[in-house]
Amino acid sequence: MKVNRLVSIIILLLDKKRISAQELAETFEVSPRTIYRDIDAINLAGIPIRSTPGVGGGFEIMKNYKLDNKVLSSSDISAILTGLSSFSNMLHQDSLAHTLAKIKSFIPADHAQEIELRTNQIQIDLSPWMVNPNIQADLKIIQQALTENRELSFDYIDRHGNKSNRTAEPYQLVLKGNHWYWQGYCLKRNDYRLFKIVRMSNLKLSEQSFTPKNYQNPVLDFTDILSTIQTNIKLRIHRSVMDQVLEYCPFENFSSDGEDHYLVNFPFIENDFYYNILFSFGSHCECIEPLQVRNEIKKRINQLADLYRN
C-alpha cells in the first residue's frame, strides 16, 4: 500500500540520513520512477527532502528539520501501532518496543483517545494457540546473528525425515502463515535455503562472521504454480467441519447435500501434505471422486489400522 511505503521511507530517511533511489527501489520492490513520485508526495506533505546527485548521493531530510506530529493522520498512526504491536507480541524485541514508543510520541494530545480507540478496534495475535517453547529462544539467536552478520550452526530435519548438520549465513526472518522460517546461505549446499525453525535443533551462534552477499527475497507466493498442478476432487462433508474446509477453498465450491452435509470441489495435489489435510477432517469427510484418491485413502486407513492392531 502506498501510504505504508511513504511512512516507511520517512522512517528510513530519519534513521539512515541519506539513501539512494535505487536502494529504496530495491527495498520496496518498486521502480526508481515510483520512488521519485513518492519523494514528491512526501515533499508535498510538508517534509523537505533534499536530493544530492553523484557518487554517494541520494535523498535526505533537510538538516534541522523536525517532523511535525501532524504529518501522520490518526488513521496512519493507528495502522502503524496495530502492525507493530502484533509483531512485538511475537518477537519480544526491545527495538520494537522503542519503535512503538517513538510512534506514540507523534500522537497529538487532542487525538490520543481517538487513536487508542481505533487501535483497539483491531487485534492481531500471530502467536499460535500452543507454543513451542524453543521457538522464542531460536528467534532471539537468529535476530542476533542477523544484526551481527554471524554464522549459525544447527541440526536440521528435512520434510522427508533426513537429518543433517548445517552451517549457514542468515539473511532474513520470514513469518509465513503461522510458521517461522529464515533464509540463509547454506555452506553445505552452497546455495540459499529457506529453513523452517521447528525443524531445527541445537541452534548455536558462531563466532565466525561473514560479509553479506547480494541476495533475492525467497519466493513465498505459489499461487501461479499451484494453479497448474492442483486438481479438484469431490468431497462430502458434515457441516461440523465446514469451517475447517473453508480454510482451503471458498464457499462458492460448496453445494448443499441434505440438511447436514455439503458436496465440495476441493483443490488437491496427490502428496502426503494434502492427504493429511483430508485426514484432519476425520470421519466427517468422505472423498467421493476420483477413484484413485479414494483408493489411496482406503490404503492409508488400512495401514493405520494395522499399526494399532499390532
Sequence ranges of the domains in the chain:
2-61, 74-120, 133-209, 224-309
127 in Cβ contact with 179 (< 8 Å): no
Contact 235, 245 (CB under 8 A): yes
Is the predicted pLDDT of residue 93 greater than 60, yes or no? no
Q: How crowded is residue 220: how many other Cβ atoms within 10 Å of its Cβ? A: 11
Q: How many CA atoms lie within 13 A of 20 on its CB side?
A: 8
- Mean pLDDT (whole number) for 220-240: 87
Question: Distance from CA of residue 73 to its chain's centroid?
Answer: 26
* Distance, CA of 110 to CA of 149 (rounded, Å): 44
- Mean pLDDT rounded to a whole number for the chain: 82
Round to whole Å and give the CA distance between 228 and 231: 8
Cell output for 18: 541519506
Name the pLDDT band for 50 (thresholds 50, 70, 90). confident
Architecture of domain 133-209: Roll (2.30)
Q: Supply 9's cell numbers.
A: 521511507
Between 7 and 202, name the one with better pLDDT. 202
123-178 confidence digits (pLDDT tens): 666 666 666 778 888 988 998 999 899 999 999 998 888 999 999 999 998 888 77
The CATH number that domain 2-61 falls under is 1.10.10.10
Residue 200 per-residue DSSP state: E
pLDDT at residue 200 in the model:
93
Q: What is the pLDDT of residue 1?
A: 43
Query: Are domains 2-61 and 133-209 of this chain identical in fold?
Result: no
The residue that leads in pLDDT, 25 or 130, is 25
C-alpha cell, 87:
509483531
